[in-house]
Structure 1
Amino acid sequence: MIFFLAGTSDARELAVTLQKEGYPLIASVVTENAVKELEQVQIGAFAGRMDAEEMCTFITKKQAAAVVDASHPFAEEASKNAMEAAKRANVPYIRFERKEQNFAESPLITYVSSYEEAAERAADTKGTVMLTTGSKTLAVFTEKLLSNPDIRLICRMLPRKDNMEKCEHLGLPQKNIVAIQGPFTKAFDQALYEQYEVKCMVTKASGQRGSVDQKVEAAKELGIKTIVIERPDIQYQNRCSSFDEVIQQLKKQGIKGGAISGL
């Protein structure tokens, strides 16, 4: 069995591919909705965050042969815990991460290394700032921008109950919440920017499957300033950017499809 961390749409596809190749797995995800989505494609999963010790205990209990980490590129803590857990349990750790998009140089695009820096840069805006970075770090932006009379902060995020509760707790007006799940087309993004008269858009360098290219290109064509938060600088072990690489890495570690203990 493989202990699998899933955090993106392509992670789900990777999980299906691995099981078809004869690698039984159980997936760790963040939300119950993600559990349901994986169960629909016959992938066993459970929701809830674990620290390194809890992961190690789980790996040992399930006799997992390897850890495949396909968590979100910005789930820094989860990846560090997974690497540490694999080390303690003495099993291979393999990282799958979609390639980062490289955008053509543009005076409209600013790259930053942290959410705090992104909030600082966005604070220079007069008008609407659209945040497309999710709810996890929302407080960083509301603290800096919400009280600024020159800025209207619009937040686009998944339509989850906990997200709405967090927005309410932070004082974000309901009219400033766009609760919707992608992926989106460039035309949709442009219509959204125009609807809210966006002057600055903040996003993360999540990769093509995260529709970052669509968001950025849509903003560029409308002359909207874009702030891109770069991925955390993590020294991953056995890093792969394709499904084939993951399978080859498993074989390299001596783990063959169909030869893993059941759940």
Structure 2
Amino acid sequence: MQIAEQIVLVTGGGRGLGRRIVHAFADQGARVVVDYRASREAAQELADRLGPERAVALPADVTDRDQVDALLTAARRHFGAPVTTVVNNALADFSFNGDARPGMAEIGWAEFTAQFAGSVRGALNTIQAALPQMREQGFGRVVNIGTNLFQNPVVPYHDYTAAKAALLSLTRTAAKDLGAHGVTVNMVSGGLLRTTDASAATPEAVFDLIAASTPLNRVTTPEEFADAVLFFASPWARAVTGQNLVVDGGLVMD
């Protein structure tokens, strides 16, 4: 299925990286569901700018299955067709500032619980809620947003990194389970992006250090990252599933 024929749910789509992913799909002619939890005004402004035929802003905390089910129902009602594609981008409250994050000696289980709920439970909810609509079509695309930190844990984001590593495992087991239904499940993993809401707190010196450490000598942008998400939704990736593509300018080579 061409991207222009797809109806795409982007969780956490009202701001940051999610907003860029929404724009990337819309630019290719897809219809987009802009999910939000707290960023109602930003999500609605984005949907209004794209127009009701191209986008709709709908609320749902992805950790709540009932809210996700209601989101999928409302999306189908709005567009008059089933959702084909899910991008699990929503991020539980987190700031990418290593100096402000607790180290291994201080971090508590509550921080891990919050990140696992957002990354793993949230993705599980959206996949399960969208699956009936995907099975109906014999087609589905799931793209989970990961991180290069489980290959290169240079900052003490213990909770975030562990949750994203678990999401990679879910990506692969889901790919194995759902392939027979025409559903592919993949992950796109980035490093620090310049700049999103979450990375706005990152000191400039860290951006400079990362840029100097990459073969491309620069920090990846949200727009460049979104291009890789489009790839997994496109016909060019129709035989690709269960994979993790690292998009970080070559900082991590795995």
Task: Report TM bin, short chain.
Answer: 0.3 to 0.5
User: TM-score, normalization: structure 2?
Assistant: 0.42
User: TM-score, normalization: structure 1?
Assistant: 0.41
| Greater fraction of residues in helix | 2
**Which structure: larger Rg?**
1
Higher relative contact order (CA 8 A, sep 6+): 1
